[in-house]
Structure 1
Amino acid sequence: MRRLFSNRGATVGLVTVLLLFAFAFLGPLVSPWAYDYIDYTALSSPPDGAHWFGTNNIGQDVFAQTARGMQKSLLIGLLVALFSTAIAGFLGAMAGYFGGWVDRVVMIFVDLLLVLPSFLIIAILSPRLKQFGWLILVALLALFGWMITARVVRSLTLSIKEREFIRAARYMGIGHFTIITRHILPNVASFLVIDATIAIGAAVLTESGLSYFGFGVQPPDVSLGTLIAQNQNVATTKPWLFFFAAGALIVFALASNLLGDGLRDALDPTSTAGRTGRRRRLRAGGRGRGGAAPVGRAAALSEDAPAAPVPTRPTGETR
């Protein structure tokens, strides 16, 4: 956690994401207006004491609508990231661990889904399945959002399964699925956490794009995409109708990427940014103790030499 909070960008991203989540899920509780309530005495009213973000052309409160739209977009993004990461972790670990025909079948399926135009397929299927509500959108987005992650998990598993503690678990007769769930997946958990964090932002953007074109969340419900689509024509004449939803979407996308980058640097010491920060801390520590910083070839060796390997231990009991 110290490495995460020492990264200024990651700290800003984390605080921003938490504030947006608070706005989305606590905003409707503090707002005096429901998102679908129509105030006939305030049509297209600018922000004031009664309506904090103003009202739209039929008198609905923009604050309540933006909070509701943010809530729906975040909920979809969270579920898509959760399901797609779970699918990627399980199938990628299975392909890398078992190899053979299991690996071939999973990779053929991955390659097939990668060449399909996912946005077009979701746009075609979603309106035809709208009777299932926004949950079908979650299922479709998760179905087309796990393939790249599964490939990375597979490559990591190919390396992990050759380590001594995995071989020892096999020799002791531990089941394959127990090895996958208790030894392999925990060793790739840091990558999955980073990927899921970034996937939330990507899923929110994809959902907003689909809803903008009318293929995602359907009226009378709202999301950030539907709010942007409904008010794009009055962005210059009535900016409060457009810029609150658009600004929330942009800020969340940037914050989730900053947070994902910070988690990568904190959880993966081999990343470029992580090595750069470690070198700076080593230099500052040497000077702070009064020691001379290494120069010339000694400095190059001290900065570029790989760290000693840390012995790998199993993450669970082997018996």
Structure 2
Amino acid sequence: MSRGRRPAGLALLAVLGAAACLGPYLTRWNWAGVDVTAFGDPPSPRHWLGTTPAGRDMYAITLRALRRSLAVGLLVASGATGLAAVTGAAAGHLGGWADRLLRSVTDLLLILPPFLIAAVASQKITGTAGTALLLTVLLWPVTARAVRVATRSLREEGYVLAARQLGAPAWAIIRRHVLPSLAPLLLADATLNTGAAIVAESGLSYFGFGVRPPDVSLGTLIADGAPAATVFPWLFLPPVLLLVLVLLAVDLAGAGLPGRPSPRER
């Protein structure tokens, strides 16, 4: 069953990505443009998803928000998982001071309230790249600990011991043997980080700590449309449905990925 869900999730992600990148070219309305003849209009052939009370096209700004959320999710997934893979594998394989340093840093980051840190830092850090960097710093410690534990269990495997006896450098062993064995774990973690980053970015924007006007995010659109959801549903439903679809696609894409590598199968 998981084998069928994973292609479905990847296909849905591809469709959402294509819609975010190519969808704006299907309409003549710009996400920042204003139609002075349509303030709060319902969906119509002129405005496919209606307009905001300020006259902005909902179709254009919703795709703008979707593109931002997908970009943040992918950047955080690659950044947090990549950083955790390198630091966790190094600490687990080298031990000693590297292991103590990683545990000290992760302990410090894990005891700090992440939402409070993100809310305060987001006042100074703006933009897609800045938001992705902030969430990367907050998400990598948990993965780094998991990678460290998995790496320590690989240190006594035959192929690692053989490479060590042959005089292979530690970083060469990590690059050629440890990280490839951890690939299933890292792939599963990347999907989790993608969903967590999208939820975190949308949540920060919902509470006013993320995107600054006039730019938009799925979180800001949901926050703006929630008070009038029963009167102007076209302001609320499109961003909510897109957020649900994105999280569903990420969950399906990660379905069936093993949480632990199998060196014997490798």
After superposition, what is the alpha-carbon deviation per residue over 1:269-309, rounded to whole angstroms, capped at 9, x for unaligned? Answer: 98xxxxxxxxxxxxxxxxxxxxxxxxxxxxxxxxxxxxxx9
Partner of 1:127, secondary structure, is: coil
Asked if 1:26 is matched to 2:43, the reply is: no
- The TM-score with structure 1 as length reference comes to 0.78
After superposition, what is the alpha-carbon deviation per residue over 1:132-180, rounded to whole angstroms, capped at 9, x for unaligned? Answer: x332221111001011211111111112121122122222222111111
The answer as to whether partners of 2:33 and 2:56 remain within 8 angstroms in 1 is yes
Match of 1:235 among 204, 229, 237: 229
Asked if 1:183 is matched to 2:183, the reply is: no
Alignment of 1:1-319 (within 5 A): 6-7=3-4, 9-130=5-126, 133-264=127-258, 310=264
Flag the structure with larger Rg: 1
Structure 1: 5+ residue runs without aligned partners? Answer: 271-308, 313-319
Matched residue type, 1:91: T
Matched residue type, 1:250: V
Matched residue type, 1:184: V
CA–CA separation in structure 2 for the residues paired with 1:63 and 1:210: 22
Give the aligned CA root-mean-square deviation in angstroms. Answer: 2.0
CA–CA separation in structure 1 for the residues paired with 2:241 and 2:122: 26
After superposition, what is the alpha-carbon deviation per residue over 1:205-255, rounded to whole angstroms, capped at 9, x for unaligned? Answer: 100000111111211211111111122211110000111001111221122
The residue that corresponds to 1:282 in the other structure is: none
CA–CA separation in structure 1 for the residues paired with 2:13 and 2:122: 28
1:268 to partner: Cα distance: 6.5
1:310 to partner: Cα distance: 4.2
Structure 2: 5+ residue runs without aligned partners? Answer: none
CA–CA separation in structure 1 for the residues paired with 2:242 and 2:90: 39
Aligned length: 266
Matched residue type, 1:154: R
The answer as to whether partners of 1:73 and 1:224 remain within 8 angstroms in 2 is yes
The answer as to whether partners of 1:134 and 1:216 remain within 8 angstroms in 2 is no
